[in-house]
Amino acid sequence: MNELDSELVRGQLAALGYSFTPDADSADVVLYNTCSVREQAENKVLSRVGKIGIRKREGARVVLGLIGCLAEREGTPLLSRFPQIDLLCGPGELDRLPMLIDNALKTETVEAADRVALAGNRNRRTATLAAAADNLELLDLSRAFDPDGGGSGGPRHSAYVRITRGCNKFCTYCVVPFTRGAEVHRTPDAIVQECRRLADGGVVEITLLGQTVNHYLYTHGVALGVNGQEVPQVGPGGSAFTRSGPRGANGRRVTTFAGLLGRIHEEVPSLRRLRFVTCFPRDFGDDILRVMRDCPRICRYLHAPVQSGSDRILRLMNRGYTSGEYLEFIDRARDILPDISIAGDVIVGFPTETEHDFGQTADLLGRVRFKNNFIFKYSPRPGTTAWDRLPDDVPTDVKRRRNNDLLALQAGISATVHAEQVGRTVEVFVEGLSRRENSRAAGRVELGWERPRGRIQMSGRTAGDLITVFDLPPDGKPETLQGRIVPVRVLRAAPLVLFGCLEASTRSLAKQTVAVHRSGITQLEI
Ligand code: 5AD
Ligand code: SF4
């Protein structure tokens, strides 16, 4: 979500003539897009804010802005705590960011009185209604899509498209319902239109974004904008859904998530890959699984965070499902889509978690056989129900140990899942040079080395989101493969990476030259 917001802000600012630099020290405006989900992310950004404070005290003239969830959650008190911050802008106000920056730049030496906070000053309901209003919608729709990728290392071939904002689930540990407001669903037409524009601009892969995408539900004809056109609307509660799909809406026409996927697949045929994150494990209807099965360009990939394998902890987290129900969902998914690849999130050390609860989470990991899992140590977040009602009683060293144990367990499972691909030919969407190449390149720049001769390693992802690296043929050019989907034969596997070689039929393709237009001015650093 934050990445998409950064992308939209970047597009908005680029359209106004701002250029970007990877070097914060040389910038006139520094913006940090902040995340409040875990404390660690907050601490990191506040430490950077501290460093800019020192520079400003030493005379540097730079406008410093915080955007995103932290700005929304903390609001104006942050300005008193950190006088070096010139502006705050929550995720629901991003359309007004250029105006805030402009004001801050014009006032040059920004006095305290001029500092502005468009955040934390409204309750959840007004924030939601504002999000449903046209301005934010326009930010999504008017994204200044730059097929060159804004100098970020080559043309852009994958993009995010938001389908819902906010969240109604109120998991007891989570700040998102407070920082991003209630769930607001964009109109299907706006989403399809945005996907079409991106595909027409050369995007190969689109990821639909929402906190719980399977709860996407748009009821047509209920609320229209001033010109009679459909507008974003607040999403329904969980009772609107059944296992086979959403319930009827009193005879009104609805677009479900399954319907939306089907529409994009059909109406944007030039799009090669369509994927989505994140799924909520409850209410994932068979209708969605069937559309995935019937539409070959929809990736067989689900990111479905389980959070815990203990029913007691799941209840305390207010997740609304049991581990048995989660497993039943995974079985249904594998019945309908045998090659589905599943990733998840887990929190260890949630208040009152015992060794027994933790053991149940470990068992569940083994049963689901996730391709990978993001494992987090519980971090109490102010404003959440858990912060108010459940003391953070699992000691830090126990959290750390459980985290390490699950990482080790998951590494073994990931290794098996990846090893099953050895010998197969997989379709890889080539993203660019592999991390190894990028760090070698950085070393060369720093140390002034000449580019060494030898193989160049490329990296991409399968439709099941497995990272795959392969050598570029000796006479190949990286830019001819970047952004393409190519067949790669898998030769060996590590826990999180497949190693392969380009299928013979594609090797000649790597040699062709294509005209790649680069503006060369912008860098992504928000
Ligand atoms: N502490 C630890 N992890 C958290 N997550 C969300 N809130 C917290 C928290 N307070 C994790 C969940 C979620 C992911 C995005 O971050 O696993 O799925
Ligand atoms: Fe947070 Fe739960 Fe909503 Fe996910 S579903 S964003 S964890 S409240």
Query: 334-366 pLDDT, tens per residue?
Result: 999 999 999 999 999 999 999 999 999 999 999
Ligand 2 center–CA 440 separation, angstroms: 39
Which runs of consecutive H residues, i.e. helices, occur in 180-304? 188-200, 257-267, 286-294
Between strands 29-34 and 63-68, the pairing is parallel
Of residues 482 and 133, the one with the higher pLDDT is 482
Q: What is the pLDDT of residue 307?
A: 98
Q: Are 298 and 274 in contact (CB under 8 A)?
A: yes
Name every residue whose Cβ is closer than 8 Å to that of residue 416 and which is 6 or more positions away in sequence: 369
Using the predicted structure, report yes or no on whether residue 38 has a pLDDT greater than 60.
yes
Q: Name the band, by pLDDT with cuts 50, 70 and 90, for residue 431.
A: very high
Ligand 1 center–CA 234 separation, angstroms: 24
Tokens of 42: 């907050």
Task: Tell me the C-alpha distance between 260 and 247, whole Å.
Answer: 16
- Measured from the CA of 211, which atom of ligand 2 is nearest? 6
Q: Which contiguous run of DSSP H or E holds residue 330?
A: helix 323-336
Beta bridge partners of 469: 459, 499
For CA atoms 77, 80, 82, 87, the dihedral sign is positive
Q: Are 299 and 255 in contact (CB under 8 A)?
A: no
Ligand 1 center–CA 522 separation, angstroms: 33
Question: For 248-388, where are the E strands, in sequence order?
Answer: 254-256, 273-277, 301-303, 341-348, 372-377
Name every residue whose Cβ is closer than 8 Å to that of residue 226 and which is 6 or more positions away in sequence: none
Task: Tell me the C-alpha distance between 135 and 92, whole Å.
Answer: 10
Query: What average pLDDT does range 243-256 have in this prediction?
Result: 79
Question: 401: helix, coil or strand?
Answer: helix
Convert the pLDDT of each residue in 390-404 to its tens digit. 999 999 999 999 999
Q: Are 95 and 136 in contact (CB under 8 A)?
A: yes
Q: Are 483 and 430 in contact (CB under 8 A)?
A: yes
Using the predicted structure, report yes or no on whether residue 84 has a pLDDT greater than 90.
no
Q: Which of 171, 307, 315, 385 maximizes ligand 2 atoms within 8 Å of its Cβ, making it the mutation to test the pocket?
A: 171
Using the predicted structure, report yes or no on whether residue 240 has a pLDDT greater than 90.
no
Ligand 1 center–CA 370 separation, angstroms: 18
CA atoms within 13 A on the CB side of 322: 5
Lowest mean pLDDT among 251-255, 291-295, 335-339: 251-255
Q: What is the pLDDT of residue 517?
A: 32
Lowest mean pLDDT among 219-233, 270-284, 339-353: 219-233
Between strands 467-472 and 456-461, the pairing is antiparallel
**One-letter amino acid of 268:** V
Residue whose entry in the numeric block shows the structure tokens 């047509």: 220
Q: Are 312 and 357 in contact (CB under 8 A)?
A: yes
- Measured from the CA of 305, which atom of ligand 1 is nearest? 18
Q: Name the band, by pLDDT with cuts 50, 70 and 90, for residue 482.
A: very high
Query: What average pLDDT does range 290-294 have in this prediction?
Result: 98
Q: What is the pLDDT of residue 439?
A: 62
Convert the pLDDT of each residue in 157-181 to its tens digit. 999 999 999 998 999 999 999 999 9
Q: Which of 345, 384, 394 maximizes ligand 1 atoms within 8 Å of its Cβ, making it the mutation to test the pocket?
A: 345
Task: Tell me the C-alpha distance between 421 and 417, whole Å.
Answer: 7
**One-letter amino acid of 383:** G
Using the predicted structure, report yes or no on whether residue 427 has a pLDDT greater than 60.
yes
Q: What is the mean pLDDT of the chain?
A: 83
